[in-house]
Amino acid sequence: MTSGATGSEGFSGGDCENCGVVVDASINKALITVGLETGGPGGYQFLDLSGTPTFETPIPAGAETSEDISIDPVRHLILSPNEDSDYQLVNISSSPAAVFNNDVSGESESPEFDSAGEDCTTGIALGTDEFTGDLFIADLTQAEFTPGTPAGTWTDAASQLVNFPEFDDMSAGTCGIAVAPGTHLGIVTGEYGGDLEGVVELPATSGSGTPAFVDYVAFTVPSPPSPEEGWSEGYDPHTVTAYVSPNTKKAYGVLENDDFSYLAIVDLQALLSAPRSGHTVTSIPAGAITFIPES
């Protein structure tokens, strides 16, 4: 199949025509970020997976998209924070889809957003800030949307950029992020190498006040089985996701190393509960991280 990409998007990790993908299982569609010559440089294109897979008309972003978008199937929003400090939201329940920008470059430190994540049970949205130990947090239930053409704006007075000193040494800073669906637990990674990663716990409620992280830890991924000589986190667009096991009912993060030889399965709550010094894990419990060979 051929997407509707007509141009390229440029990121700190390289250029792409078909750039990222996320699946909205509630409507049985995949959403691909693409390069567009008109209305771009980035855009979004749904691939309907029912019956014979069919591409829908691309949605122009009018800007670069995020390296890793997220999708909120409850509020029907695309979350796309980009490297130009614009946290873009796209309302896909309207026809045509409505684009809203939130330029936070006026913050004390203009964030270079790299990835999106969200706890869709509460509407707590996240963004990573490349080359720093920071995370952006906002409460979408308190967001105010102002329509406009070709794009409107959205703001959330409760949003903030939070620094995690223990994440400062991640390779390239906070880059990848994923929240296990139906939980308040997420995993944060660097990129292009490194073995320092993190787990965050999000607030269980929203709708008032300023959202704040409940807890977090940084941890070092141990060496996978031979012949690997230490964990080295994968490249763009970030080799990380999260899920809840239907068997154990636990929230897990999934990491992949840079040569695609191993997956690391991370028990998120086990890491939060592990022995620690401040917010750094000092001893990883048995079974908290397991490796799956890919070959």
Number of domains the chain is built from: 2
Structure tokens belonging to residue 178? 């994923």
Those residues whose C-beta lies under 8 Å from the C-beta of residue 273, and which sit 6 or more positions away, are 285
Look-up of token digits 């190393």: 257
Based on the domain organization, do 51 and 197 belong to the same domain? Answer: no
Burial of 151 (0-12, 13-18, 19+ CB in 10 A): middle
185-189 β-sheet, strand order: 176-179, 185-189, 196-201, 215-220, 280-281, 276-277
Examine the domain organization and report whether 212 and 96 are in the same domain.
yes
Specify whether 21 is located in the same domain as 129: no
Single residue among 19, 41, 61 that ends a domain in this structure? 61
79 and 41 housed in the same domain? no
Q: Residue 193 is part of a domain; what is its CATH number?
A: 2.120.10
User: Could you read off the pLDDT tens digit of each residue along the chain, which spans 295 residues?
Assistant: 999 999 999 988 889 999 999 999 999 999 999 999 999 999 999 999 998 999 999 999 999 999 999 999 999 999 999 999 999 999 999 999 999 999 998 755 789 999 999 999 999 999 999 999 999 999 999 999 999 999 999 999 999 999 999 999 999 999 999 999 999 999 999 999 999 999 999 999 999 999 999 999 999 999 998 766 799 999 988 999 999 999 999 999 999 999 999 999 999 999 999 999 999 999 999 999 999 999 7
Give the residue among 82, 84, 83, 71 at the shortest CA–CA distance from 45.
Answer: 71
Residues 22 and 105 in one domain: no
pTM for the full predicted model: 0.95
23/73 same-domain check: no
Same domain, 96 and 190: yes
Whole domain around residue 84: which residue ranges?
66-293
Looking at the fold, whether 40 and 16 belong to one and the same domain comes out as yes
Q: Which of 16, 37, 61 finishes a domain? A: 61
**Cβ neighbours for 214, distance < 8 A, ≥ 6 positions apart:** 184, 201, 202, 203, 204
**Are 55 and 186 found together in one domain?**
no
